[in-house]
Structure 1
């Protein structure tokens, strides 16, 4: 399953703390996207995560949990993505929370299903930037340097450039991508239609689409076709 991640071009990210009706969920899960990522920056609990997973499991699609809270870890996902915020000013978001989890649940952790992600958070107004105290003022070269450390030294399989809520600087994203040799480059933030999806797909390996699902389903679904059926 870990190897399948390397082939993903498009992923929908669903937030357990945001309501989604059955019709919308079916459309998203049947859209042709490569996977569903479940996660959020706030309000994520065991109960709402478990409820969303149960509903997604009605469809034949890979479903992964991006772990943001120890209290919201639910068994049954195909993989568990473990964020490490590379540009956080608080070490708990780089390794502290992960060490706490190992201390509490070390014997029960399905280590073979864990996939670490090296996050570079760049939108200062986003919840994730504020929560993790991320240094969002990185230049293009500084961002690329963080990515290269994640790729070459830490050997992380995923580097994730996150603009969360706004469309980012694609020149910066491309610069990050050029410094990677092994890691897959994920991008998330401000994907609102087919055009922004195409632009992002030209700069990264995997595009993560989230907020637009909840505000304009039709535009969200068009992002799948824009990436997967246009030879990008």
Structure 2
């Protein structure tokens, strides 16, 4: 499923989005909707957003950030593993706790791990995980290769969360990978930034722009997928 994704909208259950805006997002031609957020995500608001998205025919996946907010019925469950943190709880600790608690009911065939490299120290995720965001391109690529080669992770997710990242760094990470897909998220606000990110990653994630400038966010779909069809 995810092997063909070029563009994904990421929607936050803790943020308001009108029915009209949600319809525009879901009918935009994007490849999938990812549901997730770094704070304020609950079972109730996740269920509500999923039920609204399910009115449309496109893949809907949950990026799990809180065990209490895991909702059945998504097409995939994406599990972040933060690579560039010294705190093992964000790499394996919380995951072990989840398996111990819920292992008997986890639909493993729907679970997809993501190797996160968080590169914006001022982001909520950066503060929460205390990620070492001062990486150069070589260091970031080494994290990505380690995750792919030693951990066999299918996705490497470079997250700048709220700011547009260093595309030369992203390009070097992409060149370092073999089979893993490279997701990029952060600061995609318009066609120009979307196209720049699409040139150096496999999948472009657009999140905040949906809530800040919906019209510009919708234009990112054609910018990303137009290049894929060229």
1:9-158 equivalences in 2 (<5 Å): 9-158=6-155
Post-superposition offset of 1:46: 0.3
Aligned to 1:179: 176
**Partner Cα distance (1:7, 1:126) in 2:** 29
SS of corresponding position for 1:104: helix
Consecutive unaligned residues in structure 1, runs of 5 or more: none
Q: What is the SS of the residue equivalent to 1:171?
A: helix
Residue aligned with 1:54, SS: helix
Aligned partner of residue 194 in structure 2, secondary structure? helix
- Aligned length in residues: 229
Counterpart CA distance in 2 for 1:217 and 1:137 is 31
Q: CA deviation at 1:229?
A: 2.0
DSSP 3-state at the match of 2:195: helix
- TM-score (normalizing by structure 1): 0.98
Q: CA RMSD in A?
A: 0.7
Question: 1:203 — aligned with what?
Answer: 200
Q: Deviations over 1:162-190 (max 9, x none)?
A: 00000000000000001100100000000
Following superposition, the deviation at residue 89 of structure 1 comes to 1.7
Task: Name the SS of the counterpart of 1:156 in structure 2.
Answer: coil
Shift of 1:51: 0.3
The two structures have a TM-score, normalised by structure 2, of 0.99
Runs of 4+ in 1 over 6 A off after TM superposition: none
CA drift of 1:122 comes to 0.2
Unaligned stretches of 5+ residues in structure 2: none
SS of the residue aligned with 1:117? strand
Q: Distance in 2 between matches of 1:38 and 1:217?
A: 17
